[in-house]
Amino acid sequence: MRKFLNTALILVLLGAFVAPASAFAAMAEAGKVTRLQNKAEILRGSQTLPLEKGTAIRVDDRISTGPNARVEITLRDETKLTIGENSELVIDKYLFEPEKGIGTAIINAAKGPFRFITGQIGKMKNKKVEVHNPVGTIGIRGTDFWGGPSRGVYGVLLLEGAIAVFTDAGGRLVTAAGDGVNLTTSDALPSDPAAWAKPRVDEAIATVTFK
């Protein structure tokens, strides 16, 4: 059975929830750098700041990494986001209100590889967790997945949980660990989910593994 979904249905399945804009402003600090390998920096407004272990990451910070760099960011809900070398990533929105059961994380992975392991937000009733990439969007539940350039295309690999990967043309629901999809352009459907061979999986994981 082909796992083809339109964007509206995907958002319903993932329990999309839109929080008021004022709430995002109230929680500007999203997390901290918990591991660091080689050079990385933040563009914050007009300032460029070097990253160090313990550096606070705020909403709208643009994180950039250099050659052979790795950055692990732990968000306030214990979500772990690992960024590989020569990458750029922005946390566009972040809201974590466990007492209300509300959680939102919108990430823009503009360039390079990353790994996303959902924390407490993934268990919340009212949540919206998405990662935007240069070709499409990944909708997330309680999940561990990798995304980035892979063998000439943009690849998304599910390691645990479930994700919906969609473009302007529609999307695919990926539910089997070890399955991945390929994205080519924003106006083309993602490929059908299929198991990635071990060499390709190893290549992907290596891009976000600390040495």
Judge whether residue 147 has pLDDT over 80: yes
Give the model confidence (pLDDT) of 40-87 as tens digits.
Answer: 999 999 999 999 999 999 999 999 999 999 999 999 999 999 999 999
Higher model confidence: residue 198 or residue 18? 198
Asked whether the predicted pLDDT for residue 27 surpasses 70, the reply is: no
How long a stretch of residues is the chain? 211
CA distance 36 to 69: 8
Local confidence band at 126 (pLDDT 50, 70, 90 cut-offs): confident
Q: pTM of the full predicted structure?
A: 0.86
Q: What are the tokens at 203?
A: 């290549």
199: which strand partners?
none
State in words which class domain 4-27+78-206 has: mainly beta
Of 107, 133, 132, 134, the residue nearest 118 (C-alpha): 107
Measured distance CA(49)–CA(57) in Å, rounded: 11
According to the model, what pLDDT value does residue 122 have?
87
